[in-house]
Structure 1
Amino acid sequence: MSVPRTLELPAGVRSAVVAGLDGDVATLTASATGPRRGHVLLVPGWTGSKEDFTPLLPLLADAGYDVMAYDQAGQYESAPAADYSLERYAANALHLSRSASPDGSHVLGHSFGGLVAQQAALLGMADLRSLSLLCTGPGALGEDARRPLRKLVAAIGQVPLLRLHEIREQGVKRPAQITSFLAKRFTSNDPRSLRAMTQLLIDAPDVVEQVVATGLPVWVGRGADDDAWPHDVQADMARRLRTEVHVVPDSAHSPAVENPAALVDLWLPFLKEHS
C-alpha cells in the first residue's frame, strides 16, 4: 500500500473522470510543458490508487510528457466491473492508453499494476511505446507473502472492509487527513475487485518470456528497501527481460511517493531514449 504524504494536488495536476470499458474511470492528469515527448500511463497496485503517483505527474510533465494515473476498475473512485480477470484489467489499461494517446503510451505498472502492465504488453504491444515495471515481479508473490493473502481472500466479503483496514493499520500513527483518506480509499473498493487482485497476487502466472517476445523496450526499478517481491526475484526478472534493476535510494515499496525525484532521474533517460 502506498501512503501519500499530502492530498493537495500540485500545480498543473487535474482530477477528471473518463470513460473506461466498464464505466467511469477516475484519473489524475498533467500536460506536457514545452515540447511534447509522448504520453505516460501509470497503473497503480493492490489497495492503491491514482494518488500513489501524484508527485510524479508534474515532474514528468516538466520533462515533456502528458501523464495519466488512474484507479483501476472497482478500485477507490472508479466504477466496478463484472469481470476482474487480469486480462480485463489489462484491456482497461490499453483502452485508456488508446483514448489518451493515439500514438501509444509509455506504461508503468507499480506492484500489482506491474502484472497488469505486463499483460497489457501481451494484449496490445502495438499500442505501447515501452513497458516499465516498478517494485513488481514476474508473477505471483513468494510463498511467505501468499500465506496472509490467502487469509485475506477468505475474509473479504465476510468481514467489513473497514474492520480489515483497521486490522492492517493497528498501531500505525499518521496525520489525521492521511488516516481518513486511507480508510476511505480501502472501504471504497468493490470487494470483488479487491478479492480478485489479492487472488492474482497469489496465483498470477509468470509471463516474462512472452513479454520478451513482444520486443518492447523494458525498464525495471525498485526501492532500495522494497519489501514485496524479493530483490533476487526482481533481479532475475530484469535479467530475463534483458535489462537490470534500477534501485531508487531512500525508498521502499513506493518510490513514487517516497523519493519521486530520484525515481524520475533513473527512469527519464529510458523514456527519452524510446520517445
Structure 2
Amino acid sequence: MSTPRFLSLPPGVVEVQIETPQGSFAALEASPLSGVIERLPALLVPGLTGSKEDFLAIMQTLAAANRRVTAIDMRGQYETQGPDDPTAYTCPALGNDVDVIAMAIGEGGPVHLVGHSFGGLVAREAVIDGRTKFASFTLMSSGPSGIVGRREQAGRAIMLELPEFGLEHVWITRYEPEALSGGVPDEIVSFLRKRLFANNPTGLATMAEQVLDQPDRTDELRQIEVPTLVLYGEHDDGWPPEVQAEMAERLGAEAVVVPGAVHSPAVEAPETTAAALTRFWNAAETRKPTF
C-alpha cells in the first residue's frame, strides 16, 4: 500500500471530476502557478491499493514546468465509483478507461502517460491498443508480467481473503500493522483506512488477481512507437530492480533508478522522481512526433 507523505493539497492542485463516456472519475489536477500552460499534459495512474493522492508530492513540481498534470482514481478506487462486476476491473477494461480519460484531458491531443505498479500494467493496455497516441509512456515501479516477491504475497492475500472475510479483515491483519510498524502518522493511518474501505471490494479483489496473473507483453509494447521510460526504486520489493532493468533493455527504453526509493518513488523520493519525469517529458516533446 502506497503511503502519501501528506494529504493537504499544495498550491495549484485542485480536486476535479473528469467526465467521460465511461463515467465520472475523481482526480487531482495541478496547473502552473503562473497560469501559463506551454507543454503537453500528463496523466498519472496509481497502483492497486493506491489513489491519486500517491502523486501529491510531485504534482506541483511537475506542473511548474508549464504543463497541466492530472492524477486519477481508477474505476472502483477510493473516490471513483465502480460496479460489482468483475469484468469491469480487468486490465483491458481499465485500460479503456485510461484511453477515454486521456482523450478528455488532452482534448484529443497527445498526453504523457505514467502508470505506477499495477497502474503500469493498466496503462500499458492503453498504449498497446493504439486507440490513443501518447506523447510518452512511463512505467513506474512496474514490471513485464505479474508482480512477484513480498508484494505478490500481499496481492494473493487480497484475492483470497477479501471475498471471504471482507475489508475489515484485510485492514486489521495486513495494512494497519504495516502502517503502525512503519511509524506512519495517525492522520495518514486514518486516511489509509478510509481509502481502503472506499474501494469497491469486487474491484479490489479482481485487480489483485490481475496484478498477479498478467502475461509478459513487453514485445508487443516495443512495437508501439512511443518514447518509453522505466523508472524504479533501487530497493523495489515488487518487481526486482534487475527485472525492470531487463524490461527496459528489451523495450529499448531509458531506465532511471531512484536512489533510496523502494516501490513508491513519487512518495519516497519526490524531487528526484519529478526531475526525471520532467526531463524525459521535455525530451520526448522535442522528438519528431509519431501522433
Query: TM-score normalized by structure 2?
Result: 0.90
Alpha-carbon contact 2:16-2:26 (below 8 Å) kept: yes
Give the 5 Å matches for 1:1-275.
1-32=1-32, 33=34, 34-81=36-83, 82=85, 83-101=88-106, 102-124=108-130, 126-142=132-148, 145-168=151-174, 169-170=176-177, 171-172=180-181, 173-275=183-285
Alpha-carbon contact 1:22-1:80 (below 8 Å) kept: no
Tell me: CA distance 1:186–1:216, structure 2 relative to 1, closer, same or farther (3 Å). same
Amino acid at match of 1:214: I
**Distance in 2 of aligned mates of 1:256 and 1:195:** 25
SS for the counterpart of 2:163 is coil
Deviation at 1:84, TM superposition (A): 1.2
Alpha-carbon contact 1:162-1:183 (below 8 Å) kept: no
1:190-235 Cα deviation digits (max 9, x unpaired)? 0111011100111111111111101111011111221110111101
Amino acid at match of 1:160: G
| Matched length | 275
Q: CA RMSD in A?
A: 1.6
Tell me: CA distance 1:126–1:70, structure 2 relative to 1, closer, same or farther (3 Å). closer
**Distance in 2 of aligned mates of 1:121 and 1:201:** 17
Alpha-carbon contact 2:233-2:241 (below 8 Å) kept: no
Alpha-carbon contact 1:125-1:216 (below 8 Å) kept: no
Tell me: CA distance 1:211–1:155, structure 2 relative to 1, closer, same or farther (3 Å). same
Q: Percent identity?
A: 36
Alpha-carbon contact 1:225-1:253 (below 8 Å) kept: yes
Alpha-carbon contact 1:44-1:70 (below 8 Å) kept: yes
**Distance in 1 of aligned mates of 2:65 and 2:150:** 39
Alpha-carbon contact 1:21-1:92 (below 8 Å) kept: no
Deviation at 1:6, TM superposition (A): 1.0
Deviation at 1:146, TM superposition (A): 3.5
Amino acid at match of 1:18: I
Gaps in structure 1 of 5+ consecutive residues: none
Report what 2:289 is aligned to.
none
1:31-86 Cα deviation digits (max 9, x unpaired)? 24434111100000010000000111111110111110000000111010341111
SS for the counterpart of 1:128 is coil
Query: TM-score normalized by structure 1?
Result: 0.95
SS for the counterpart of 2:139 is strand
Amino acid at match of 2:49: T
**Distance in 2 of aligned mates of 1:230 and 1:87:** 25
Deviation at 1:87, TM superposition (A): 0.7
Amino acid at match of 1:267: L
**Distance in 2 of aligned mates of 1:151 and 1:257:** 24
1:80-133 Cα deviation digits (max 9, x unpaired)? 034111111011111111001121110000000010111110123643111101
Amino acid at match of 1:62: A
**Distance in 2 of aligned mates of 1:55 and 1:148:** 25
Gaps in structure 2 of 5+ consecutive residues: 286-291
Amino acid at match of 2:232: R
Deviation at 1:160, TM superposition (A): 2.2
**Distance in 1 of aligned mates of 2:185 and 2:269:** 19
